[in-house]
Copies of this chain bind each other. A is one copy, B any other.
Amino acid sequence: MTYDLWYWPTIQGRGEFVRLVLEAGGIGYRDRARDDGAEAMMRDMAGRGPRAPFAPPYLVADDVTVAQVADIVLFLQDRHGIGSQDAGMQYWLHQLQLTVADLIAEVHAVHHPVDPMAWYREQRDEAVRAAGQFRRKRIPKFLDHFEAALGAEDGPFVAGAAWSGVDMALFQIVAGLRYMFPRRMAALAGDYPRLAALHDAVAALPAVAAYLASERRVAFNTDGIFRHYPELDGDG
């Protein structure tokens, strides 16, 4: 079957963590809002009754609709045999996926510290303050954790030789932080060799390489979660 993925059509955002798994797995899907527009997505969501998603992204299969990135990844891994079949490893991979979700929420809060529904320009002063602590303390705290996690197996992926959703997520984290904070990430570059190698290993997967070179990959921009505002970057 072909899945319907619904997500905002002009940004990578949280949808990208799902797109990468679908693409890497060679799983057929239609990126519905890119074909039909965001208004069609709002209508589709509104028509889903008591189990409507809280927010995009969501994935529609014949028998089930799943929202929340980490839940969609769990569903795809189960149904398509992606990643590890060992239960203990599956809990570990999911745990890391949820820590990525925490990081993503903090990344969004850097440019929207006071009101997620208001404009960046309405909270720029607070964002500058939030970005300082995020660059100095939070980026190393999260990346230290992921770098250590990558040391548990021989790699290149978290579970070893087989990729899973969290490898796609860590690729996206590295790419996104490099786009959002080029000066800070350049200063930290030498500290995270395993994460850098993981980023390159994901990008070199043939299906991912083809995706990244295609028009299906939306470019980073200042409407998404990772946003490059020079005033929020710095070496330290």
Given A113-B113, A117-B133, A137-B117, A71 contacting B50 (CB threshold 8 A):
no
A115 within 8 A of B: yes
Bound-complex Cα distance A94 to B129 (A):
34
Bound-complex Cα distance A116 to B136 (A):
13
Report chain B residues within 8 Å CB of A88. 63-64
Q: Contacting A66 at CB < 8 Å: which of B91, B106, B117? A: B91
A109 within 8 A of B: yes
Contact B130–A115 (Cβ < 8 Å): yes
Given A113-B126, A117-B133, A152 contacting B74 (CB threshold 8 A):
no
Report chain B residues within 8 Å CB of A109. 109, 113
Report chain B residues within 8 Å CB of A95. 53, 66-68, 71
Contact A68–B98 (Cβ < 8 Å): yes
Report chain B residues within 8 Å CB of A113. 109, 113-114, 126, 130
Given A68-B99, A113-B113, A113-B114, A145 contacting B54 (CB threshold 8 A):
yes
Contact B50–A64 (Cβ < 8 Å): no
Bound-complex Cα distance A193 to B176 (A):
42
Report chain B residues within 8 Å CB of A149. 50-51
Q: Contacting A129 at CB < 8 Å: which of B63, B114, B117, B142? A: B114
Q: Contacting A133 at CB < 8 Å: which of B64, B115, B152? A: B115
Binding site for B on A (CB under 8 A): 49-54, 63-64, 66-68, 70-71, 74-75, 78, 87-88, 91-92, 94-95, 98-99, 101-102, 105-106, 109, 113-118, 126, 129-130, 133, 137-138, 142, 145, 148-152
